[in-house]
């Protein structure tokens, strides 16, 4: 299986690179720059592509060119920017700069659309093509958060997923939107799950759980898919 992870340099994206795939699989990380040291995993080939989705048309073309020959089975679009003061008590929409807002929309929405469009010819050659979009509980009704642009771009991912399913249903394209709550990004997969889960006392989701969920999605047959998964922390009283 050939799996591409966009936004792979840190946090959840890095956890996907370290935790997805089995022997014989090929992982392709995509980020603005290539890390000085790539993860090493027995039996799994890992390569990296430098591409900045803030320039989505150029980035999409270069990434698509890299998979033209060998194809692609899974695209995980894990890239998403948020406001500089997002999720802080002092966040104020009126203080967000137009430059910051436009960059978020460019990366979170235009980047996703243009990259998917560029990669679809390679994906659709797979016997089981899958796209996984990392969304947020901020895309759900009643999410209770004031971050306008971040919420809007995560809402947009749901629309992208819905339209892709309808447009390519007859070609077996499975599209899943993961609506994730707040993550514990301090504890990587090397930290035991039990300790990562204790860090926030139920207010943050260990990245281990998300990786386990995505591993399960990738084992499904071509006859089924998960349309949307909502995954809040256990103590998130909004859901």
Q: Report phi then psi at 5, rounded to 5.
A: -120, 115
- Asked whether residue 118 is domain-assigned, the answer is yes
Q: Would you state the pLDDT for residue 202?
A: 85
The predicted model gives 90-102 an average pLDDT of 95
Distance CA(174)–CA(161), nearest Å, equals 9
Q: Across the chain, what does the average pLDDT equal?
A: 94
Percent of the chain with pLDDT over 90: 89
Structural domain contains residue 239: no
- The answer to whether residue 238 sits within a structural domain is no
Res 201 pLDDT > 90: no
Q: Residue 101 pLDDT more than 90?
A: yes
CATH at 217: 3.40.50.720
> If you search the block for the tokens 């309808």, which residue do you land on?
166
Task: Summarize the confidence of residues 37-41 as an average pLDDT.
Answer: 85
More confident residue, 217 or 143: 217
Q: How far apart are CA 215 and CA 200, in angstroms?
A: 24
Q: Taking the CB of residue 230, how many other CB atoms lie within 10 A of it?
A: 14
pLDDT digits (tens, 9 = 90+) for 205-214: 999 999 999 9
What is the token pair recorded at 26?
Answer: 């090929």
Identify the CA nearest to 228 among candidates 160, 171, 150, 128.
160
- With respect to residue 213, please indicate whether it lies within any of the assigned structural domains: yes
Alpha-carbon gap, residue 22 to 33, rounded angstroms: 25
How much is the pLDDT for 144? 85
Question: Is 237 inside any structural domain?
Answer: no
Lowest-confidence pick of 79-93, 95-109, 220-234: 79-93
The structural domain count of the chain equals: 1
Q: Which tokens go with 224?
A: 């089924």
In a domain, 89, yes or no: yes
Q: Is residue 155 part of a domain?
A: yes
Find the domain containing 108 and state its range: 2-231
Distance, CA of 164 to CA of 63 (rounded, Å)? 20
Q: Is residue 222 part of a domain?
A: yes
Q: Note the pLDDT of residue 199.
A: 86
Token digits of residue 177: 């939107």
pLDDT over 90 (residue 49):
yes
φ/ψ (deg, to 5) at 76: -110, 110
Q: What is the pLDDT of residues 187-199, one digit of tens each?
A: 999 999 999 999 8
Per-residue pLDDT at 238: 84
Q: Tell me: the pLDDT tens digits for 108-138?
A: 999 999 999 999 999 999 999 999 999 999 9
């Amino acid at each position: 299986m050939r799996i591409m992870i966009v936004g792979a340099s840190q946090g959840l994206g890095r956890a996907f690179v370290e935790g997805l795939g089995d022997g014989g699989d090929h992982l392709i990380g995509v980020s603005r720059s290539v890390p000085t040291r790539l993860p090493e995993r027995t039996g799994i080939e890992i390569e990296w592509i430098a591409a900045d989705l803030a320039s989505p048309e150029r980035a999409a073309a270069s990434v698509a060119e890299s998979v033209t020959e060998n194809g692609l089975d899974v695209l995980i679009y894990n890239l998403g920017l948020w406001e500089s003061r997002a999720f802080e008590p002092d966040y104020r929409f009126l203080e967000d700069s137009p430059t910051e807002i436009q960059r978020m929309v460019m990366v979170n929405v235009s980047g996703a659309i243009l990259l998917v469009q560029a990669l679809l010819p390679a994906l659709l050659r797979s016997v089981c093509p899958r796209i996984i979009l990392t969304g947020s509980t901020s895309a759900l009704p009643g999410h209770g958060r004031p971050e306008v642009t971040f919420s809007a771009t995560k809402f947009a991912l749901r629309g992208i997923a819905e339209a892709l399913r309808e447009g390519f249903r007859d070609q077996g394209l499975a599209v899943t939107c993961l609506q994730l709550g707040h993550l514990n990004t301090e504890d990587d997969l090397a930290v035991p799950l039990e300790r990562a889960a204790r860090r926030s006392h139920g207010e943050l989701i260990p990245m281990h759980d998300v990786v386990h969920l995505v591993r399960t999605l990738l084992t499904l047959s071509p006859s089924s898919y998960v349309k949307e998964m909502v995954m809040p922390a256990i103590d998130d009283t909004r859901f």
